[in-house]
Amino acid sequence: MSTIEAEGTGAGTNTEFGISLRLLGGAKAEARNAEALGYDYLLTGEHVMFHGPVANNMVSLAAAAGATETIKLMSGIVLVPLYPAALLAKQVAVLDVVSDGRFSLGIGVGGEFPKEFAAVGVPVTERGARTNEALEVIDLLLREKDVHFDGRFTTLDGVSLSPRGVQKPRVPFWVAGRKDVAMKRVARYAEGWLPYMYTPQMLTESMEKIAQFTADAGRPEGTVRGGLFIFTCVHEDRATALDLANQQLSKQYNQDFTELVEKYTIAGSPQDCIERIQQYIDAGARTIMFSQGCPPDYVDENTRLIAESVIPAFR
């Protein structure tokens, strides 16, 4: 069985679009601008430390929640193994309350910057196991009272959170990743799949695997919504867009992205980007999150162009 809907134009597939912003200084203005431009979601990433300035999901999205009214919010992604599970569950519940039920928990394991794991006393080799257990714990704490749990990393003896969030039975979980272990995680614990640095063919294959993994986990067909987190740069000139994306991603990841930009990003003219997005929709993506694949001084223009020159093709 498969969770992939029938192929066709994006306009007929109820596709949602989100934008990842910096949400550091000026977080409120950035959030209001994304909402005014008509994005469905606003998200931001996090690290304790990285190759440059980076946000903290819960703090930044709380600021965004207070500055907006309707746009949905997603952690894109929260590094789950860096948190005690019960503490993260509390933060999730409160953020769902202060946003009036607009928050979704985007989940990742990290590991590309081992120093941040050492800084918080978490062995990087335990990140997968810690994440899986944490998702069990967070699910229980957001759904139930008087939770008892005896795990490898977490022990709960009659713990109840109050509040437990607005959305019922709990906030949606979205799992990010690229490999089978992440696909099995989303099939078992979550409602959304948010892969990154994926081609359309990779997305198709992952959705087929997730459908089988979901069935193996005893969950209903169609439980998992297909998504995509992808670096994006739009410019009227295709070559300029590709160059801007290469500049930013090479710096951000401290490696040469020259040969990777066309494969793993949506970059080019508005029409180039529309055609590429359609390929991902045909592959099963129903929630597409655009990450800023451009230098900081082009972020505002990139955000505007995506909203005004690309997304309308799918409405």
The CATH number assigned to the domain holding 221 equals: 3.20.20.30
Tokens of 114: 């081992």
Indicate whether 107 belongs to any domain: no
Under DSSP, the state recorded for 7 is: P
Examine residue 130 and state whether it is found in any structural domain, yes or no: no
**Phi, psi torsion values for 199, nearest 5 degrees:** -90, 165
Of 167, 184, 166, nearest in space to 175 by CA: 184
Q: Tell me if 135 sits within 8 A of 127, measured CB to CB.
A: no
Distance of alpha carbon 168 from alpha carbon 143, whole angstroms: 8
Cα distance between residue 77 and residue 47, in whole Å: 9
Task: Give the pLDDT of residue 12.
Answer: 59
Distances (CA, A) of 254 to 60, 143, 247, 248, 273: 25, 41, 11, 10, 25
**Does residue 274 fall inside a structural domain?**
yes
Q: Is residue 148 part of a domain?
A: no
Compute the distance between CA of residue 243 and CA of residue 235 in angstroms, rounded to an integer.
10
Within a domain: 123: no
Is the previous residue joined to 163 through a cis bond, with omega within 30 degrees of 0? yes
Looking at residue 295, the DSSP 8-state letter turns out to be -
Q: Does residue 128 form part of some domain?
A: no
The SS3 of residue 269 is coil
Integer Cα distance of 38 and 31 in angstroms = 11
Domain housing 69: 10-79+169-314
With CA atoms as reference, report the closest residue to 194 among 104, 113, 60, 76.
Answer: 76
Answer yes or no: is 142 within a domain: no
279 within a domain of the structure (yes/no): yes
SS (H, E, C) 273-293: HHHHHHHHHHHCCCEEEEEEC
pTM beyond 0.85: the answer is: yes
CA distance 18 to 42: 5
Among residues 94, 181, 166, 172, the alpha carbon closest in space to that of 131 is found at 181
Tens-digit pLDDT profile for the chain (315 aa)? 233 333 345 555 799 999 999 899 999 999 999 999 999 999 999 999 988 889 999 999 999 999 999 999 999 999 999 999 999 999 999 999 999 999 999 999 999 999 999 999 999 999 999 999 999 999 999 999 999 999 999 999 999 999 999 999 999 999 999 999 999 999 999 999 999 999 999 999 999 999 999 999 999 999 999 999 999 999 999 999 999 999 999 998 889 999 999 999 999 999 999 999 999 999 999 999 999 999 999 999 999 999 999 999 999
Provide the domain count of the chain. 1
